[in-house]
Amino acid sequence: MSEAQHLLVVDDDNRIRDLLKKYLISNGYRVSAAANAATARKLITTFDFDLAIFDIMMPGETGLELLESLRQGGVRVPVLLLTARGETSDRIEGLKSGADDYLAKPFEPEELMLRVAAILRRTHVEPPPEEIEMSGLVFNAKRAELNDGEHHVRLTEAETHLLSMLAAKAGEPVSREELASKSPGSTERSIDVQVTRLRRKIEPDPKQPIHIQTVRGIGYRLMPD
């Protein structure tokens, strides 16, 4: 089971801060909380957060000032701003300062959860698996090796590069255009040729591929076991 995503809630209102923490925890998140910007800074230097929720209108250093300072310091944690100020100019100011989204108080908890989930989907990218299995073959992208048990399957440099790009997005369609643009000296037609050659080395039946699938109108998709 994967570890719960870690969120930071920063709000000087004890009631709202506690409610947010309880609600987020009940929805499966791991949550830390801070009542001010100073405490938030200490937590951010101690933990790796997947998302932070800042209230703008805090005494002393505001949530907006905290956000601007973090962005200037190179801290890229995604941030959702909360505030009672709902004017368009305030939203624009927050987004210009590096916020990923903005939600005005009062808000429905369900809307908050939807916005949190949307930000996490946009910003959280799972690292590709180091090894991918395909009908008894194992491709290790880090070592750029395709092995059949103890036997090494020879790939050309172009085939290795292509297989690595598909493996990095396993299960997702990758366009011919993208594959060609990231392969030096390749065209969309040459990508098709390389795919045909790869299928001969990988597929149990190259005429009916199950691992390097054609996605009509787009390109190709690598499907591991």
Q: Whole domain around residue 53: which residue ranges?
A: 6-123
Residue pLDDT, tens place only, 68-121: 999 999 899 999 999 876 666 777 888 888 899 989 888 898 999 999 999 998
Q: Rounded CA gap, 171 and 134, in Å? A: 13
CB atoms within 10 A of CB 187: 12
**Do residues 137 and 119 share a domain?**
no
pTM over 0.75: no
Phi first, then psi, for residue 70 (nearest 5°) are -65, -45
Integer CA distances (angstroms), 35 to 26, 39, 130, 171, in order: 21, 7, 41, 42
Number of domains in the chain: 2
The verdict on 113 and 172 lying in the same domain is no
CATH number assigned to the domain comprising residue 46:
3.40.50.2300
Residues 24 and 119 both lie in one domain? yes
Q: Both 145 and 60 in a single domain?
A: no
Q: Respond yes or no on whether the N-terminal peptide bond of residue 106 is cis (omega within 30° of 0).
A: yes
Distance between CA atoms of 60 and 217, rounded to whole angstroms? 55
CA distances from 76 to 42, 63, 150 (A): 16, 15, 43
Q: Is residue 46 part of a domain?
A: yes
Q: Is residue 50 part of a domain?
A: yes
Q: Are residues 100 and 144 in the same domain?
A: no
Last residue of a domain, one of 104, 123, 142: 123
pLDDT of residue 1: 37
Does residue 137 share a domain with residue 119? Answer: no
pLDDT tens digits for range 172-193: 899 999 999 988 888 999 999 9
CATH of the domain at 211: 1.10.10.10
In a domain, 1, yes or no: no
